[in-house]
Amino acid sequence: MTTTLLDTIKPNSDQLNADDLIAGPITVKVESMKRGPSDQQPVEIVVDGGFMPYRPCKSMRRVLIAAWGELGKDWIGKSMTLYLDRSVKYGGQAVGGIRISHVSGIDAPLDLMLTVTRGKRVKYQVKPLGVSHD
């Protein structure tokens, strides 16, 4: 008998964290949206699958707006794949963060130039997600 121990490493938090993705990427569907709890986290996305809400960083909000538009109501019902990017830095230290690799609702890869540090931008690509939620 195989028993998963993933529940024993869940962070004690009110949001989805990078640590929640240690076991691998997850694909989730947007159930609802609302303004987040602070200026640092202005968007809260409620997702399916029993996960805590996802509060995307500014770069990932830019990805979602580029893919799905500026109206949060248009995001409901769409899906995205979230993964742990261990190279994400905070205060100069690699701490890991949540990134989006695929989204539904686009027909071709979407290339964006995203700011990673002051004055430095890098190409970021999000790929189409083949799901039937749209």
d(CA 48, CA 53): 9
- Which domain covers residue 30, as residue numbers? 15-128
28, pLDDT greater than 90: yes
Q: Which two tokens stand for residue 44?
A: 């809260």
* pLDDT at res. 9: 62
Q: 10 Å Cβ neighbour count for 8?
A: 6
pLDDT tens digits for range 84-133? 999 887 778 888 899 999 999 999 999 999 987 778 899 999 999 985 44
Summarize pLDDT for 65-87 with one digit per residue, the tens: 999 999 999 999 999 999 999 98
Q: pTM of this prediction?
A: 0.85
- How far apart (Å, rounded) are the C-alpha atoms in residues 119 and 117? 6
Q: Is residue 2 part of a domain?
A: no
Q: Does residue 118 sit within a domain?
A: yes
Note the pLDDT of residue 94.
82
Note whether residue 7 is domain-resident: no
Domain assignment of residue 3, yes or no: no
Residue 134 resides in a domain: no
103 within domain boundaries: yes
Residue 87, classed as helix, strand or coil, is coil
Q: Would you say residue 71 lies in a domain? A: yes
**Number of domains forming the structure of the chain:** 1
Q: Is residue 5 in a domain? A: no
How big is the CA angle at 90 (ends 51 and 12), to the nearest 5 degrees? 30
Amino acid letter, 51: F
